[in-house]
Structures are given as C-alpha cells and as structure tokens.
Amino acid sequence: MLSIKDLTVNVNDKQILKGINLEIKPGEIHAIMGPNGSGKSTLSHVLSGKAGYTVTGGSATYQGKDLLEMSPEIRAREGVFLAFQYPVEIPGVSNIYLLKAALNSIRKHNDQPEVDAMDFLTLVKEKVCLLEMDEKFLYRAVNEGFSGGEKKRNEILQMAILEPKLCIMDETDSGLDIDALKIVAEGVNSLRSAERSFVMVTHYQRLLDYIKPDFVHVLAQGRIVKSGGPELALELEEKGYGWVEDNQAAA
Amino acid sequence: MNTATATRYAVKYQAIASALPGQTLPWLQTLRAEALMAFSESGFPSPREEEWRYTNVSAIEKKLFSPSISLPAGSIDAQWLKSYQLQDAWVLVLVNGHFSAELSVLDDLPEAVSVMSMAEALAKQPDQVQKHLGLATAQSEHGFVAFNTAWFTDGLFVHVPAKQVLDRPIQLLHIVTDADIMSTTRNIIIVDEMAEAKVIEIFIGVYSATSSEIVADNAYLTAAVTEVYVGQNADLTLYKMQSESEKAYHFGGSYIKQARDARFTHHNFAFGGLLARSDIHADLDHASECELNGLYLGSKRQHIDNHTRINHLKPYAVSREVYKGVLDDRARGVFQGRVIVAIDAQQTDSQMNNRNLLLSDDAEADTKPQLEIYADDVKCGHGVTVGQLDEKSIFYLQSRGIDEETARNMLTFAFANEMVDKIKIKGLHDMVLEQVLTRFPQEGVNKEWL
C-alpha cells in the first residue's frame, strides 16, 4: 500500500525528518507516536501534499506510484485521506455540498458517473447516524462554529463517505473528551477492512485503547527509533517518551 | 463640484417642476425650493468632504442626465420582468422613476395597511407624508439628498399600523428603460409600534423594450432616498439589491430612525453600476437592535462605495455589522463604517466587521471603520481584513479531491454566499444567488447542489 524509504524533509532549510522508513500493507493499522516536535505532523502533511515542505531525499510509493509527485487533489482521488488535526472552517460552503463535490471528483477520477442524488442522501444519512451526529450538521457550513469534538467527528464522517484506501489521521484524538473519542474510534473501527490501511499519528496512548493498531512506531527527532506491536504503546505509556529518547542517546 | 454644473441641473428643473407630484402642497413646494437652493449652492459631494474622500462623483457632473417627465410608453417584456418580481409579495414597480399601476401587484392588502406610490400618498395622506419627509435625513446631509428632495418624481409609501404583522414582503422594483436619464425617487416606510414588515428594494439596469434584454452599456443616474421609521418594539427588515447596468451611476441612501426596542435589519447587495454609492444611516434609541449586512461585488472598472453610520443615542442598544467585498480586475471597493456612541448611551454593544477579498493585483479596497465613543461603559469592537483566499482552506479542499482552481472558485463563492444565505425569503435568496453566480466564475460551483 505505502512504502516510505529514507525520507528526509526540510522546513525552511531545517531538517525535520531525517530518514523515515515505513512499510504499510493493506488492512494494517500503524500508530506513530512521539513527543511534540518529533516530526509526526510533518510526516502526515508531507504524505498528503501540503505546501511548505521540501523533500530532500528518499521516496514514498503508494500503490506502486510515486506519491510525492502527485498534487494533493490527485492523492485524495487516488484514495489518500488526511484527517486534519485542526479542521478548517469554511463559512458559506455547507457540509453536504463539500461531501458531494469531493465524492464526485473522486468518482470522476475513477471514471464513475456522478453519484445519484437519492443514493447519496441515503449514504450520508447512514454515516451521520453511525457517528451519532445531528442531520442538521449536513446543512451547516463546514466546521463553522463546531466544537472541537464535532470537527473531529466531521472528519471521520468525510472519511466514511469518501471511503479512502489510506487514512492518515493527524492527532485525531487531541482535544477529544472520552465520549467523543469513543464515537470517533467506533467510526474508524467500522471502516477497518482488509483493503484499507490507517496511519494514526498521536501523542497519547489512550486512542490505542479504542483503536487497536497492528504496529506502533516511535518517532523522535525525525527518525523512527523503535517499532513494535501494541504492547510498545503500553510500555511507552508507563515509561514516558524520555525512555526511548534516552535509549537512543545511549545508542 | 462647481456650482455652474449645479446651475445647469437647476435649469432642467424648470422643465419638470410642474409635472412633479404634490405641487399643490405649499409645504412641499417650499421644501423642494429649499432643496434646490441647497443643491445649487453645494452641488454633488466632493472628495474634499470626509464622508466622500474615496469617491469622486465628478463624472456625473460631466454628463447632464435628463429627468423623465412621465411613465414611458411601450410595454416591458412580462417574462423578463417575472425574473425580478417576487411571487407572494406586494410589488410596486417604478419605471424611470414613475409608478406603473399596470406592472404593480397590490391586491389583498390588509385594510389598515398602506402600500402605494408616493404620488398617491401625497394626494391621499399628505399629512402623513409631511410629518415624515425629510425627518430621517436633511438636505444638509449632502448634495444627493438635496438633489433627490428637489426632483423626486415618485416612490414608495408604506405605512403599517400598530401590531399589524405583514405575512408577505413588499417589493419595490426600479427599472430604467432609457439612456442618459435620471431616476429620482423618494420612499417613506413607517412601521408603527409592535408591527412587523419586510421591504425589498431592487434596482435593475436599462431595459430595452425592443430587444427584450438589459442594455448594459448605457449610462443613466439613479438617485434614490428612503426614509424609514421603525416604531417602538416594531420589527423591519429591509433588503436592497442594486444590479444597475454597467455604465450606470447609482446613489441610494437609506436613513432609519428606530424607536425604543425597535429592531431593524438591513441587507445590502451592491452588484452593478460603474459608480455606486450607498448610505445606510441609523439612529438608535433605548435598547434598539440594528443589524447591517452588506455584500459588494466589483469587477472591471467598477467603483462601489458603502457608507454606514450607526448612531447609538440611548443606552442598551445593540448593533451588528458585517460587510464583505469581492473585488476583481481594476475594481475598487470602499467601506466607511461609523459607529457613534453618545455620552449617555451606556451599555452599548456594537460590533463592526469589514472583510475584503481581492482577486486581482489591480483591485483595491479602501476600508475605514470609525468608532466615536463618548460614553464610558460600552462594549464596542471592529475588525477589518483585506486579502486573498486562505491557503489553509484551499489545501483542505484539495485534500478532499477538489482541484485548486475549483477550490478557489468555491471559496470565492462561499465568501460571498455567506451573506446571501442570510436572506430568509426564498424567492429573493434565489434571485440574489443568481446574480452572484453570473458575476463570478461558476466552474466548480454547482448550483444544483446548493
């Protein structure tokens, strides 16, 4: 699905990612954990094509194609989805409008006809229900005046409707209370499938109690310093990020 | 402006004077004579005046627009008219500043409610008119008000008696059919205690009876003044959309007096004209609420100026103002917003916001919010932005599969649409939306999905 090799990235001439290697197969969930400033958000931004990052070396191959060559919208149409840490408010564009525009641009890319209006509504309502959102949200402007939890739920709603192949979740759990977290996790879990992969970037172990990862990677100072199974997250929780950083320093 | 030009206009006055409505009323004759005198002395406003510093109307001086003496002969295409006429509304149509009974729809008015042409009101209710004409604004305001008072040929008169809640909006439709003329109209809207009403004012460009379409390249002058009186605890919403033709000159002033606890909402859509200026001036009483919304769209060489003044005269009044502009090509948008809080207007709560989106390097926005606060216990704020589209929003849309150009078009549209969405009357909402969509790139904005 996604193969990242020796990826190095600069922001304003400062090296942030210093050689990332990551192999993600279909159906897998990878959690990337790390302290603040370790480069977690940079990694998710670079994968989704945000401007302001210079790739200085290495590669990211997505389904056999060079991901880094694609514009952000092509990545999205090819099935990459970024759930934002800070979803943007767009006054004047309703949620339902955005969903329709997004879904149709993806369908067009895949040579499918525009979605039928009735089918679309049925699909949307079903997902709204799944995320325990009020239908009224659909007709409100994108994220405008939404609470932190509502914004994150809205990201998962989009994800559920666009059905991406690779979901990158950038600190989706930050700022969520436990109830909102459970709903978001449930939404994500319902999307798990043998064809769909997830990269969950998070600072906190708590998210992983609700969405069980196959692999956990620890990112520190621009490198993956440790990889393991779900048990690594628990170990981290217990010992703190200082533990891996100290280990790395010792090595 | 030199007074010679004013004199040229004044001479033209002689030709139309006898045809003006209310000429048998001595008080009106006096008022018009005074106004003519004031205009002859001052002429049109000059950029030397602080309230007009960004807007130079000298182009109007160079042309000498002629008054239209009567309703023009020739019919107006019903189909064309329909696209501007609201269903389920009382509609009063003015053609070149003259009332057309044939095109108007004033059936089934509740008995005590008056909706009629100004000429008819001067004949039937001269006392009411006398009491209100020139009370919300004076000729001394500036040359356009004086000009209007001297020349007005007709207009709309509305009186909604106490406790009457109108279930339909009242629509005033201004149509100009000829080039080089001036349409000078005066409106009075009175909403008594506890009454509620919605009034819509629409200005549309030169219409040619022969080709059944708007002739975009003819110049004409609109000078309209509306005086509004909102009674105690009454509620009035006023909508204005000016979609004048490309070379037209437009002045439209709304002057509002709000009584205690009165609520007034204004939606101002300024789309057309080569040079267009709006005044919206409101005087607030104890605990009045005033909401001013505006959207101006400029392209080519348009100059669109919106001037607002909110006068907090008494305590506890609330005012909210949002004006947004989208400017392309070499267009220039002007926003001057004044909020004045009088010394005893304690507990005033006022917010003013002006946001401008520039789509080209040659477009310009001049924005000047002014707070003048003489009371010491108030909550007043203002904010202004002039800029381009937000890159974060563009990336957000791209990350959902939408290409950059479409994203830009969507966001431009959305910026404007936020103001359109505030319209609560479906027919009007659709009409304004249509105007917005024809004026800006539509690729990426799918009307069917809105």
State residue A52's pLDDT score. 93
- Give the whole-number percent of chain B exceeding pLDDT 90: 76
B273 part of a folded domain: no
DSSP-assigned letters across all residues of B201-216: EEEEEEEETTTTEE-T
Crossing angle of helices B143-151 and B3-16, rounded to 10°:
20
Same domain, B104 and B159: yes
Number of domains in chain A: 1
Confidence of residue B62 (pLDDT cuts 50, 70, 90): confident
**For B404, nearest residue in chain A (alpha carbons):** A73
State residue B81's pLDDT score. 86
DSSP E strands in A26-130: the ranges are: 29-33, 54-62, 65-66, 80-83, 90-94
Q: Does A226 touch chain B (CB under 8 A)?
A: no
Same domain, B250 and B333: no
Q: Does A42 touch chain B (CB under 8 A)?
A: no
Confidence of residue A36 (pLDDT cuts 50, 70, 90): confident
Of the residues B388, B423, B440, which one is the last residue of a structural domain? B388
Decide if pLDDT at A167 tops 90: yes
Q: Which of B165, B182, B169 is nearest to B241 (CA)?
A: B169
Q: Which member of B396, B410, B414 has the closest CB to residue A91?
A: B414
Q: Which of A95, A92, A193, A178 is nearest to A137 (CA)?
A: A95
CA-based nearest distance A21→chain B, Å:
24
Find the range with the poorest average confidence among A2-11, A151-160, B70-79. B70-79
State residue B179's pLDDT score. 86
Summarised one tens digit per residue, pLDDT across range B142-154 is: 999 999 999 999 9
Those of residues 19-78 in B touching chain A at CB distance below 8 A are none
Chain B positions touching A70 (Cβ under 8 A) are none
8 Å CB contact of B399 and A82? yes
Number of domains in chain B: 3
8 Å CB contact of B414 and A100? no
Confidence of residue B1 (pLDDT cuts 50, 70, 90): very low
**Average pLDDT of the segment spanning B182-187:** 96
Q: How far is CA B178 from CA A89, B79, B81, B94, in A?
A: 46, 19, 16, 13
B136 part of a folded domain: yes
Decide if pLDDT at B212 tops 60: no
Same domain, B158 and B58: yes
State residue B209's pLDDT score. 54
Reading the block at residue A142, the tokens are 């994108």
8 Å CB contact of B391 and A84? no
Same domain, B115 and B257: yes
Cα gap B127→A31, rounded to integer Å: 80
Asked if this assembly's ipTM is beyond 0.90, the reply is yes
Quick one: CA torsion of A43, A44, A49, A50, rounded to 10 degrees? Answer: -90
**Average pLDDT of the segment spanning A4-25:** 94
**Average pLDDT of the segment spanning B392-401:** 96
Chain B positions touching A169 (Cβ under 8 A) are none
Domain that holds residue B358: 286-388
State residue B211's pLDDT score. 56
**Average pLDDT of the segment spanning B164-174:** 97
Summarised one tens digit per residue, pLDDT across range B18-29 is: 889 999 999 999
Decide if pLDDT at B345 tops 80: yes
Spatial CB neighbours of B36, under 8 Å, sequence gap ≥ 6:
B10, B13, B146, B150
State residue B256's pLDDT score. 98
B278 part of a folded domain: no
Chain B positions touching A75 (Cβ under 8 A) are 399
**For A80, nearest residue in chain B (alpha carbons):** B399
Same domain, B311 and B379: yes
B176 part of a folded domain: yes
Chain A positions touching B393 (Cβ under 8 A) are 88, 90
8 Å CB contact of B403 and A100? no
CB A7 within 8 A of CB A60: yes
CB B16 within 8 A of CB B150: no
Same domain, B377 and B405: no
Those of residues 370-389 in B touching chain A at CB distance below 8 A are none
- What does the mean pLDDT of chain B come to? 92
**Average pLDDT of the segment spanning B176-183:** 89
B226 part of a folded domain: yes
B157 part of a folded domain: yes
CA-based nearest distance B416→chain A, Å:
7
State residue B185's pLDDT score. 97
**Average pLDDT of the segment spanning B396-414:** 93
Cα gap B435→B273, rounded to integer Å: 14
Cα gap A123→A107, rounded to integer Å: 15
Question: Cβ-count burial of B402 within 10 angstroms (0-12 exposed, 13-18 middle, 19+ buried)?
Answer: buried
Same domain, B369 and B414: no
Same domain, B395 and B364: no
**Average pLDDT of the segment spanning B320-348:** 97
Summarised one tens digit per residue, pLDDT across range A171-217 is: 988 888 888 899 889 989 999 999 999 999 998 888 899 999 999 99
SS3 B297: strand
Q: Does B446 touch chain A (CB under 8 A)?
A: yes
Domain that holds residue A51: 2-250
b/e burial code for range A90-124 (CB count within 10 A of at least 16 → b):
bbbbbbbbbbbbbbbbbbeeeeeeebeeeebeebb
Same domain, B366 and B409: no
**Average pLDDT of the segment spanning B311-327:** 98
Same domain, B220 and B322: no
Mutate to test the interface with B, among A98, A114, A146, A167 (most CBs of B within 10 A): A98
B274 part of a folded domain: no
Reading the block at residue B196, the tokens are 């509620």
CB B281 within 8 A of CB B321: no
Same domain, B403 and B352: no
Same domain, B106 and B239: yes
8 Å CB contact of B399 and A49? yes
Q: What is the largest CA-CA distance in chain A?
A: 61
Q: Identify the CATH number of the domain in which residue A201 sits.
A: 3.40.50.300
